[in-house]
């Protein structure tokens, strides 16, 4: 039957306990033996020596006090008679009694006293010799005890040392093997096994571990096949996307990049997948642009010597407590080409239509001249309507031409030092007739000594004119428009404030978008004027904005940089 670890520990400690018990027992036994022999020496011999010494002393005191000395001598003799322990001591003691009786009867001759002294010396000799023999025996016993105890102690030390060196390995080695095996499993090395011949608890634990590792290896192999299949399928789906896609995980490492993205970046899959974003930003300018530039405006990438236009979208994907993200580059080259074609078409049509419309406008003016011929009131009304329609179409064509310039990126600026008072006067002069028709008053509030501005006078006047035209359009009959210009932090701010119906807050952010018109507005337009105004002002490094509230009118503003002294 195999010994368990618990039983091995119990047997080892029990064995050591028995060795210690044997050593301690031997020490106790020999100590008790020496103690017993010492007591025997004291009892058997040392007392006899004391009795003999007492008798000798009393014998020497006979001349001084004979009666008292005899009594004490007899008392010591009686005690000696009761403590006979050595061979021949009984004969000597009996002779001493006989001689003492003679002394006691009156024989105090020197011969008798000398015999008594001789007999006392004989008893002393017998006990002294016995003490010598017993002392030699005790010494031999002590030496034997010391030898046995030293031998036992040496054996115990050697066994204990061997036990202390070898026994921990019985427990530590299997534990170390298990620890190393667990580390291998943690590192996903499911092929690792523990080879242990022990039939104890550690052997059972090793068998259980090997079974677990075998099952994990099976599951890993099965899951790996599934994962590889899913990975291949996901890669096929990602590579089939027409849009370039780059996945980035929570730790800012690149998860994937499809074929189109790799083509744009000019990299291979192994050069990008799994790499930190920061590292790739240093090596690839396009990737650095995609990561660090948050613009949503279209941008151009040259692919195979052909200009392509893209827009960037960032899709957040929830992952645990954070978000991964996918950068998608949508190719809008075809739309851009269509937009350019549309812009060129509009510019061409607008330019071609503007000439005959200008000619028809001139013809209408000739018809109004009475020198050509007098017209009836109905004819004059028809001409006025035709003229208004002609002016409206000319304005639309003018805005379309401006828009085509903006879209084509061909805004031509003539930036000079411009007097802001001149811009205001020209804009007011342009809309004065419209204001007069609606009985709208334009109030100017201009600061004194305004500095010159660096601007295109024509386009800045066009923007201010657009603001005033809209203000007149939306102001009630008999209303008032406040036009102000003031200097603020190195800029001149032009402001046009009306007392019209106002604009809801949710529409303010879209006012400057192309073709946008406020829902429910009675006055209709092309929806291009404010968009073109924004492009004109921003092209001159200015800003344009609006403040409005329903029922309280609107205030449109733009700022342009003042000329440095």
Residue of 72, 44, 67, 43 lying closest to 56 (CA atoms): 72
Q: Is 58 exposed, middle or buried (0-12, 13-18, 19+ CB in 10 A)?
A: buried
Residue 345 pLDDT: 55
Q: Is the pTM of this model over 0.85?
A: no
Residue 263 pLDDT: 78
Residue 208 pLDDT: 79
Distance CA 368, CA 221 (A): 95
Distance CA 5, CA 11 (A): 10
Residue 210 pLDDT: 77
Q: Tell me which residues of the chain have a pLDDT lower than 70.
A: 1-6, 8, 30, 32, 34-44, 167-172, 197-202, 220-242, 296, 319-322, 334-373, 375, 380, 387-412, 520-527, 565
Start-to-end CA distance of the chain, whole Å, equals 107
Residue 555 pLDDT: 92
Distance CA 514, CA 526 (A): 9
Residue 111 token pair: 């011969």
Residue 539 pLDDT: 84
Whether 563 and 453 have beta carbons less than 8 Å apart is answered as: yes
Long-range contacts of 50-55 (CB under 8 A, 24+ apart): 51/76, 51/77, 51/79, 51/80, 51/83, 52/76, 52/80, 52/120, 52/123, 52/124, 52/127, 55/80, 55/96, 55/120
Distance CA 547, CA 502 (A): 9
Q: Torsion over CA of 73, 76, 81 and 83, rounded to 10 degrees?
A: -160
Residue 525 pLDDT: 63
Residue 223 pLDDT: 61
Residue 485 pLDDT: 92
């Amino acid at each position: 039957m195999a010994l368990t670890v618990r039983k091995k520990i119990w047997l080892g400690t029990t064995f050591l306990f028995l060795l210690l018990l044997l050593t301690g027992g031997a020490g106790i036994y020999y100590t008790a033996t020496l103690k017993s022999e010492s007591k025997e020496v004291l009892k058997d011999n040392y007392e006899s020596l004391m009795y003999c010494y007492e008798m000798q002393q009393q014998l020497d005191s006979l001349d001084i006090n004979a009666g008292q000395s005899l009594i004490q001598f007899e008392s010591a003799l009686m005690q000696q008679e009761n403590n006979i322990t050595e061979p021949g001591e009984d004969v000597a003691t009996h002779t001493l009694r006989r001689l003492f009786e003679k002394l006691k009867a009156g024989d105090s001759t020197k011969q008798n006293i000398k015999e008594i002294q001789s007999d006392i010396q004989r008893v002393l000799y017998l006990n002294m010799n016995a003490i010598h023999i017993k002392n030699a025996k005790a010494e031999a016993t002590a030496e034997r005890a010391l030898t046995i105890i030293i031998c036992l102690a040496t054996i115990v030390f050697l066994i204990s040392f061997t036990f202390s060196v070898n026994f921990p390995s019985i427990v530590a080695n299997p534990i170390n093997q298990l620890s190393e095996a667990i580390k291998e499993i943690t590192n996903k090395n499911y092929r690792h096994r523990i080879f242990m011949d022990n039939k104890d608890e550690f052997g059972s634990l090793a068998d259980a571990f090997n079974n677990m590792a075998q099952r994990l290896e099976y599951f890993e192999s099965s899951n790996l096949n599934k994962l590889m299949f899913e990975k291949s399928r996901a890669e096929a789906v990602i590579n089939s996307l027409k849009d370039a896609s780059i996945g980035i995980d929570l730790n800012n490492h690149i998860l994937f990049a499809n074929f189109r993205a790799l083509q744009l970046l000019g990299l291979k899959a192994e050069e990008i997948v799994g790499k930190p974003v920061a590292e790739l930003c240093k090596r690839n300018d396009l990737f650095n642009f995609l990561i660090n530039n948050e613009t949503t405006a279209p941008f151009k990438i040259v692919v195979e010597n052909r200009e392509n236009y893209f827009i960037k979208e960032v899709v957040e994907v929830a992952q645990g407590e954070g978000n991964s993200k996918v950068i998608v580059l949508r190719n809008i080259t075809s739309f851009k080409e269509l937009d350019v074609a549309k812009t060129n078409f509009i510019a061409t049509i607008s330019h071609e239509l503007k000439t005959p419309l200008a000619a028809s406008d001139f013809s209408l003016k000739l018809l109004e001249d009475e020198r050509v011929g007098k017209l009836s009131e109905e004819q004059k009304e028809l001409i006025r309507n035709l003229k208004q329609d002609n002016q409206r179409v000319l304005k639309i064509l003018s805005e379309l031409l401006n828009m085509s310039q903006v879209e084509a990126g061909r805004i031509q600026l003539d930036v000079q030092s411009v007097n802001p008072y001149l811009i205001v006067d020209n804009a007011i002069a342009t809309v004065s007739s419209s204001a007069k028709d609606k009985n709208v008053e334009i109030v100017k509030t201009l600061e004194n000594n305004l500095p010159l501005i660096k601007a295109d006078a024509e386009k800045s006047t066009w923007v201010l004119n657009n603001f005033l035209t809209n203000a007149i359009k939306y102001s009630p009959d008999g209303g008032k428009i406040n036009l102000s210009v003031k200097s603020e932090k190195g800029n001149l701010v032009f402001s046009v404030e009306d007392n019209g119906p106002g604009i809801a807050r949710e529409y303010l952010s879209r006012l400057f978008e192309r073709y946008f018109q406020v829902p429910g507005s009675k006055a209709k337009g092309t929806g291009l004027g404010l968009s073109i105004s924004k492009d004109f002002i921003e092209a001159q490094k200015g800003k344009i904005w609006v403040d409005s509230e329903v029922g309280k009118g609107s205030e449109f503003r733009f700022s342009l940089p003042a000329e440095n002294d």
